[in-house]
Structure 1
Amino acid sequence: MKKVLLLSMVMFVSLFNANVALASQKKEFKVIAFYTAKSDLAHISFVHEANIWFPEMAKKYHFDYDSTSNWENLNEKFLASYQVVLFLDTRPEKKGQREAFQKYMEKGGGWMGFHFAAFGLNNSAVPQNWDWYHNTFLGSGEYGSNTWRPTSAILRITSKHPVTKSLPQTFTAQPNEWYSWKNDLRKNPDIEILLSIDSTSFPLGTGPKQNEIWHSGFYPVVWHNKKFKMLYVNMGHNDMDYEHQYDNTNKALSSSFGNPYQDKLLINALLWLGKGKKH
């Protein structure tokens, strides 16, 4: 009788501990990533990497990660299930999708956009035709220029924020095509620039065009609009074997992940967007 009682107690304790462990691993928030992955080998490469890396981080840091290339899902009903939205490579183009996203953000949703998600240039295939998004929300306005070829840059923290927690003052980022913008974000009181390109990075880029090599200037890389729970990250363009792209090699020469500091930045960002408050 005593053995049966003891065995029952052991089983109860084991079951209790298992339930506690399961409860401690309960998913704390849900992330949905939108992507297109149809143009530019580097953007496609980044999307494929992201959709491998983020699920791995979701398991480790206890959140759910879903992804979709169906931008029709960018509607109020679908978004209601998620606390964080990612734009991995592009932006929504339809009026209803844009309205749903703006409403989601104005109600306190979280968002992180990468690289080309902020691109908008008049008289191009992707015109700056969404004033709220480019000028009010991102603050950057039109695309200005870029470096070429994709190269690493030394980044400097310009503001303390949960996103930059435990990062060194400067660190070397993964190779990327770096963007500049029409608007000077330093003049926008709503924008908090978290990281910029450090002057020790110059000259940045290899050309061959001289305007693709930056020799000086201030270039924000990661920033936050204080009126929203959002973050823009300029990274998201791998270096590719462009010389043989028509041979269908599509070979990536670099990765946007695997850098401990850049990875930490993205993890900090997700946890802040999913669980934190507007800063």
Structure 2
Amino acid sequence: MNRLNQPYKFLFILSFCILTALNVYAQKSKFHVIAFYTAKNDQAHISFVHEANKWFPEVAKKYHFTYDSTNNWNNLNPEFLKKYKVIIFLDTRPEEPAQRKAFENYVKNGGGWMGFHFSAFALNQSTYNQDWDWYHNEFLGSGEYKSNTWRPTSAFLRIEDPKHAATKGLNHIIKASPNEWYRWQNDLIKNKNIDILLAIDSSSFPLGTGPKQSEIWHNGYYPVVWSNKNYRMVYFNMGHNDIDYEHGINKDLSHTFDSPEESQLVINTLLWLGNGNKTYKAAY
């Protein structure tokens, strides 16, 4: 009788091992992330891209997702994106019409997006013209770039929406790493689709050191992290490391992810985007 049962025992054990292995693999790869970058202009942006491409793989191992990165923006197409649940723009934005259309379809069909600093930049009569209304005015809501602080300096950021998954567990005020802070053409407060998650706290003023007085902010309301309620997305104004430009050596003077609270904010956001119920379906 025992001999007759041996094949069945073997099949049972084999099936159990296969199911266990598949379960472990699923746990290790809950979702897939793809980051796009250019890393050619401004040493501060290049520094951040290199930092991010080291930091995100470490976070991926800890939180059980996969992280890939590419500087080939032609990969922004429906076939390539089918594998990924979250797209990250580390520094720039797509420029070709086909790439832009693929991205728009991606987020309109449930794909997640996280963008940093320069990915929202647009200024007419510059290399990055405001020639993509859907992205800058509807999706981001910010419109054109208006001005920035200088030099890159740290700031205290106030959480405006403590109920959002991105801000869960964080203190009401967090300290960010040094950054070049942007302000925008559009008033995000007036946009009913925009959920402002963090803004610069008044304790940060004066913000910036100049030398131009216009590069030092003394008052005002400046959103720096926000989401669009119609999409699964979060934009971070952070992503410009401080660089020693003055001595001509382009040495890193700061790193964005050196701030534990800022890093946790990014992790919270990525897990919210990756573990959401919506799944991207390619639209051809």
* TM-score, structure 1 as length reference: 0.91
Change (3 A) 1:21 1:93: closer
CA contact (8 A) 1:229 1:277 kept: no
Alignment-derived partner of residue 184 in structure 1: 187
Task: Give how far 1:171 is off.
Answer: 1.1
Report Cα offsets for 1:33-55 as digits up to 9, x if no partner.
Answer: 00000000000000000000000
- Rounded Cα–Cα distance in structure 2 between residues aligned with 1:74 and 1:24: 25
**Alignment partner of 2:241: what SS?**
coil
Native 8 Å contact 1:84 1:110 kept in 2: yes
Q: Which one-letter code corresponds to 1:169 in the other structure? A: H
Cα deviation, residue 244, structure 1? 2.3
What SS does the aligned partner of 2:56 have?
Answer: helix
Q: Which amino acid aligns with 2:240?
A: H
The residue type equivalent to 1:95 in the other structure is P
In the other structure, the counterpart of 1:269 is 269
Change (3 A) 1:99 1:17: closer
Aligned to 2:257: 257
Pick from 87, 104, 112 the counterpart of residue 102 of structure 1.
Answer: 104
Quick check: 1:202 aligned with 2:202? no
CA separation in 1, counterparts of 2:99 and 2:149? 31
Q: Does 2:172 match 1:169?
A: yes
Show structure 2 runs of 5+ residues with no match.
Answer: 1-8, 279-284
Q: Secondary structure at the match of 1:50?
A: helix
* Deviations 1:254-274 (CA, angstroms, capped at 9, x unpaired): 000121101100000100010
Equivalent of 1:62, from 38, 61, 64? 64
Identity %: 65
Residue deviations 1:185-212 (CA, integer Å, cap 9, x gap): 0000000000000000000000000000
Among 237, 242, 245, the residue aligned to 2:240: 237
Q: Structure 1 CA distance, aligned partners of 2:20 and 2:109?
A: 37
| Counterparts of 1:20 and 1:165, CA distance in 2 | 31
The letter of the residue matching 2:267 is I
2:50 to 44, 48, 59: 48
What is the alpha-carbon distance in structure 1 between the residues aligned to residue 277 and residue 21 of structure 2?
Answer: 29
Structure 1 counterpart of 2:133: 131
For residue 22 of structure 1, report the CA deviation from its aligned partner.
2.5
Displacement of 1:66 after TM fit?
0.1
* 2:124 paired with 1:116: no
CA distance in 2, matches of 1:31, 1:244: 37
Count residues with an aligned counterpart. Answer: 267
Q: Secondary structure at the match of 1:273?
A: helix
Q: Is the 8 A contact 1:85 1:112 kept in 2?
A: yes
Distance in 1, Cα, partners of 2:83 & 2:24: 22
1:148-163 map, 5 Å: 148-159=150-161, 160-163=163-166
What's 1:4 paired with? none
Question: How far did 1:16 drift?
Answer: 9.2
- What is the CA distance between 1:125 and its match in structure 2? 1.5
Output the CA distance in 2 between the equivalents of 1:180 and 1:117.
Answer: 14
The runs of at least 4 aligned residues of structure 1 exceeding 4 Å deviation read 14-21
